[in-house]
Every structure is written in structure tokens, then in C-alpha cells.
Chain A
Amino acid sequence: MALVAVAWILPYQLGGYAIHVVNIALVFALLAIGLGLAMGIAGQINLAQVAFFGVSAYATAILTTNNGLGFWPAAALAMLAAALIGLLVGVPALRMQSHYLGIVTLGLALGFINWTTNAEVAGGAEGISAIPVPPMFGIDLASEYLYYYLEVVVFAAALAFGLFVVRTSLGRRLQAMRDDPLAAGAVGAEIPLLRMTAFLLSSVYGGVAGVLYVRLIRYVAPDTFNIGNMFLLLAMVVIGGRQSLVGCVVGAIGLTLVREQLVDYPTYAQLGFGVVVVLMVVFAEFQVSVESHPRGQGADLPPLGVLAAAAQVAYEVAHQRPVAYVLGGDAIGGHERVHRFVLLAVHRHPGGPAPPVVRLAFT
């Protein structure tokens, strides 16, 4: 409930640019959920997620500017288009997996960018601008603050649906397919159908994100959907935790915020992301446990630290596959206080195969 309250009053706390950043973060969070469903839950390498994003964005743009359709019809058709493309991209998944599927999906994504750069109807390299935002239920959606509420509602619904899917038997079958396709098939899971479903889910989320994004930015161009952004999305999902949808959201929002902080140093940001991704991947077997020094309890803990600690506890409690957080150093608290958290120990459970345990203390 606290989250709902925070989400409700957030716009009142933030300035114009900040709310824009939050809106972008929510869009990326949607994309991350979609990618997390395909890659983390179903184990399908889907490097075409930006293309699904782009298909829906471009479809909305073209339908509203070229064909004069309204918000709802255009959005519905755009999501349908994204879903169809998702099924098309999913077809190669029936024949190959793993990095081969990655190459094929990446190639198709590149093909999509190539098409948008060239097609007349898509506006070529300059894209389509001045996309209208019609009012919805009398609310003027051109205001970023009001648009935020629309996004939050859609995002909450999407996240809830995603979490719901993971819990149903469909979700279990997808996870079984991820863990061992042969065994899953042997106990009766329809592997081809499940693979298509994974891509369909992913593309629907991409479609929703595309529609929201186009209405937000009111401009669409090929460069937004390039491979660099695809890898950034991948980094969000990996850093947040592939197999947990909430983790994907945290990764998406976190990376978007960090990227905004580093907007003057985009290259260093990219360097940082790459390094963190490599570290995450290499240390993915580590398990983190957090203990806080008694003095550091409650209000003294920095908000970021609290978030991090909560995330670790949640991961541990839920017994997800351990996600790497290589932490250490200082966290700046809300009142510019510097809190130290110290890497207490890295030790292995005696008897080998269990992953090492990292212990942290906040002081």
C-alpha cells in the first residue's frame, strides 16, 4: 500500500524534467518485463525486443498521422501488429535456440531498423513527428503529469499480469521449458506452442510500451530502436535479475535513473553498464546476505541502501537463483550523509557446490 501512496503523490514532488524521466523509466520497465518473460522465465533469447517496441511505436505513429485514426483504434492495431511480428520472430525459435536464436532475432531487429530508415511511410531517417495526443476521458494527456498516471495504471496492470502468468501453470510450463526443454517435453509440455507464447508475451509488452512511448514523446525515429538500446535493455534485465519480473523492473528503473544522472557522460555510462553486466554475469553464482549494524537501523539507513537490502532479502527469501550484487563502498543518504557498507566476508559453504555467500554490514 505504501508503494501505491508513493506512486500517487510522486508527480507532486517532482519537477517537469524529472517526471519525464520517470515516464521514460516506466516505458523501459514495461519492455524489461516483456524481455524478462521471454528470456528469464521462458529461456528464449529474444534480441528483437526493441523491434517489437519499434513496430508498435511506428504503427501508432503512422496510423495516427497518415491515416488519421484515433488513439484507441491506432493503439489496438499497433499492439496487434507488434503481436503478429512477435509471432513471426518466434518462428525461428522452433528450429534453434540459444545464441543461434540470438543472432537470428538480432538480424531481424536490424532488418526492421533498416526498413524504417528507408520506407517512405515511416519517414525515413527523420522519423515521424508531431504525433497528436487526443484527450482521453476528458483528461488532457499532453501534460506529462497526467500522462504519468496513465502510465502507472498501465504499468501496474502489466506487472500484475506478468506476475500472475508466472504463477499459473503456463508460467510453470515456461519455466520447465527454460530449465530443461527435453524433460519438459517428455512430461507433456507443448514446446513449440510455449515458445511462440513466450515471444507473443514479449511482443505484447513491447507493443504496449511502444504505444505509451509514442504518445509520450510524440516523435518516433529509427535511432531510438537501435541495437545499442537493445543491449541496454538486456543490461537492465540482467542487472535486475533475469528470473524475477520485479527484478527486471528494478533494473530498468535503476538503469534509466543512472543513465539520466550520467547524461553528460554517456560514454562512461556505457562503460559502466558494460562492466557491471560482465561482473553480474561472472558473479551470478554469489549469494548476498545483508546484516545491518544496530546503530544503522531504521531511519539511519540510506534509502538506496534500504532498497538494496530489501532486494537482497527478497531474493533470498524467495529462493530465486542467486543474483549478483557486488557491493561495497559508500551510499549517499537523503541528507548527504555518507553511510559505509562493508564487505564483511565472502565464504563458501563447507562442502563445495553451494554458491559462495557474501555478507554485508551497514554502519
Chain B
Amino acid sequence: MGLVNFAHADVLMIGAYAASTFYMSTELPFAVAMVLAIAVTGLIGLIIERVLRPLENKDVTLMLIGTIGFGMVLQAVAILIWGATGRAVASPVKSAPLDFFGLRIRTYDLVVLAIAALAVVLLVWFLQRTKRGAAMQAVAMDHEAATAVGIHVGRSNAIAFAIGAGLAALAGGLVGPLLYVSPAMGGALGIKGFAAAMLGGCGNIPGAIVGGLAIGVLDSYAAGHFQGYSEVVVFLVFTVIIMIKPTGLFGEMTVSRA
């Protein structure tokens, strides 16, 4: 879409809270809770897009600031609804860790991997094989040309936002049992997410996957070797790489070059 949504991390947080609320308070099965959470956050994504629509394609800086504002609102709303202290979410998969060639892997981690892979496959299929997906890519490439061929840019962006928010909710809900769910959980996760996207190349789905894996591995490696300083290392490495190749490792579809 050509936009970085700084509220994305907080949308993820709302998704995590929603999923955990549906899962724990109302005793719904985890899958149903996730779907509900995705629906709710998708709605939030639509609202954000609709409010910021006058700014689309006009002033990117203003829109960026607008999303930051929305992020603040979402965080405040989360604190108002769920309180400032976080909550721990029980893992929905209650089985012993698997023993895999000497590595102990939690079953839940495999579930998360599987769902993430499935989501990526679905997204790629949507973008490459459906009309709406192609329309979205067209808008990202050149929104005026897209309008010229009859694509409703506002609606397309709205769907993009909704899908993005839904995926954020999926991520948040899945990561809930792994990490502590709290109003501030968006922060570092979000930045690393953006870093991963940029590293792989914005608008480039395989790049995003590789970027995500790269940041994840780098993060774990740094945590292992540098303990607390892991974030400094990750961001310094990221800065250096991105300066060498601003378009990301795989090249980008839309980037604001210097």
C-alpha cells in the first residue's frame, strides 16, 4: 500500500487482548476466539483507514503521524478496558514438548509455525490469484493508474488495512501464550516487525518471510550472546544492512528512496 502503519503494533496488542479475552473469559475454543479477534481487529483496521482516507496518497508524513495517534488511542483504550497490568495466557496446546533430534520443541511453537505458514500461503494466493489482490498490488504500484482502470482506491486500501489488521490480530493471538500480554507489548515487537519487512523489501512477500526469519534468528542469537544488549545489536545490524541496501535484501515494490 505504500504506507507504514505505526498503529500496527498496537493493533496486534488489541488482537492479543481480544483473543485472550474470548479464550479465557468466555471459555470459547481457541480457534473460535482467534477468528472473533481477527474479525474485531479487522473492523478496527477499517475504521483507521476510513478516518485517514483524506490523507491517503497526499501527505505520507501526516498519515504516518495519524497512525501514531491511533496507536496512542488504541493503547489508552486497551488500558481502560483491560487495565495496565498484563495477563498471562495459557497455551491452548497442552502436550509435552517434542523431542526432535535432541532439540526440545514445544508443540505450540509448531502450531504457530504451521498457522503462520498457512496464513502466508493464503495471503499470497489472495494477492496473486484473485482480482482484489491484483487490484491491491496495482494501487500500491501506482494509485493514479489504478484509478484510471477503475479500481476504487479507497475501498482497496480499506481491504488492505483490514487484512493487515486481521493478520496482526492473528499474530497477537498466537503470540499471546508465548509472551506476556500487556498494553506495551506492541512496542518492540512492532519495530522488529517493520524492520523485518524493510529488510526483506517492502511490498515483497517472500522478502518479508525471509526478513522475519532473519530478524528472529538474529534476535535469538543476540539474546544468547549479548544477553540484555540484544536489542541494540539487532537494531545496529539492521541499520547497517538497510543502509547498504535500502531496498531490502530482495528489492522492494515501493520505497521512499533518499
**Assembled-state Cα–Cα distance A275/B73 (Å):** 6
- Chain B residues 52-86 with CB under 8 Å of chain A are 52, 54-55, 59-66, 68-77, 79-80, 84
Q: A313 contacts which chain B residues (CB < 8 A)?
A: none
A235 in contact (CB, < 8 A):
yes
Q: A234 contacts which chain B residues (CB < 8 A)?
A: 65, 68
- Chain A residues 259-315 with CB under 8 Å of chain B are 267-268, 270-271, 273-278, 280-282, 284-285
Q: B55 contacts which chain A residues (CB < 8 A)?
A: 281-282
Number of interface residues of B (CB under 8 A): 53
Could you say which of B130-138, B204-212, B227-235 contacts chain A?
B227-235
Of B54, B69, B231, B246, which is within 8 A of A100 by CB? Answer: B246
Main secondary structure of the interface of A (DSSP, over half): helix
Of A92, A97, A275, A276, which is within 8 A of B256 by CB? Answer: A97
**Assembled-state Cα–Cα distance A123/B69 (Å):** 32
Q: Which of B76, B80, B229, B242 has the most CB of A within 10 A?
A: B76
Closest Cβ neighbor of B2 among chain A residues: A99
**Assembled-state Cα–Cα distance A270/B123 (Å):** 34
**Assembled-state Cα–Cα distance A320/B228 (Å):** 46
Main secondary structure of the interface of B (DSSP, over half): helix
Could you say which of A17-25, A103-111, A164-172, A200-208 contacts chain B?
A103-111
Convert A86-130 into 0s and 1s, putting 1 for each residue whose CB lies closer than 8 angstroms to a CB of B: 000001111111111011101110111011011000000000000
User: CB distance A106 to B191 under 8 Å?
Assistant: yes
User: CB distance B3 to A99 under 8 Å?
Assistant: yes
User: CB distance B188 to A100 under 8 Å?
Assistant: no
Q: A94-B258, A96-B257, A282-B66 are in contact. Are A107 and B73 (CB under 8 A)?
A: no
**Assembled-state Cα–Cα distance A238/B54 (Å):** 17
Q: A96-B255, A99-B3, A114-B231 are in contact. Are A281 and B76 (CB under 8 A)?
A: no
**Assembled-state Cα–Cα distance A103/B202 (Å):** 13
**Assembled-state Cα–Cα distance A171/B209 (Å):** 42
Q: A91-B243, A282-B52 are in contact. Are A277 and B72 (CB under 8 A)?
A: yes
B149 in contact (CB, < 8 A):
no
Q: Which of A235, A276, A284 has the most CB of B within 10 A?
A: A284
**Assembled-state Cα–Cα distance A104/B195 (Å):** 8
A216 in contact (CB, < 8 A):
no
Closest chain-B Cβ to A280's Cβ sits at a distance in Å of: 8
B103 in contact (CB, < 8 A):
no
User: CB distance A114 to B246 under 8 Å?
Assistant: no
Closest Cβ neighbor of A118 among chain B residues: B228
B238 in contact (CB, < 8 A):
yes
Q: A114-B228, A118-B229, A235-B72 are in contact. Are A103 and B198 (CB under 8 A)?
A: yes
Of B69, B71, B235, which is within 8 A of A281 by CB? Answer: B69
Q: Which of A93, A231, A281 has the most CB of B within 10 A?
A: A281
User: CB distance B191 to A103 under 8 Å?
Assistant: yes
**Assembled-state Cα–Cα distance A104/B255 (Å):** 14
User: CB distance A110 to B71 under 8 Å?
Assistant: no
User: CB distance B51 to A282 under 8 Å?
Assistant: yes
B239 in contact (CB, < 8 A):
yes
**Assembled-state Cα–Cα distance A93/B194 (Å):** 17
Closest chain-A Cβ to B146's Cβ sits at a distance in Å of: 21
Of B194, B235, B256, which is within 8 A of A96 by CB? Answer: B256
Q: A110 contacts which chain B residues (CB < 8 A)?
A: 187-188, 191, 231, 235
User: CB distance A95 to B191 under 8 Å?
Assistant: no
User: CB distance B76 to A99 under 8 Å?
Assistant: no
User: CB distance A267 to B76 under 8 Å?
Assistant: yes
Taking beta carbons and an 8 Å cutoff, which residues of B are in contact with A?
Answer: 3-4, 6, 51-52, 54-55, 59-66, 68-77, 79-80, 84, 187-188, 191, 194-195, 198, 202, 227-232, 234-236, 238-239, 242-243, 246, 255-258
A-B contacts besides A45-B61, A97-B256, A114-B228, 4 pairs, CB < 8 Å: A95-B257, A100-B202, A231-B71, A278-B52
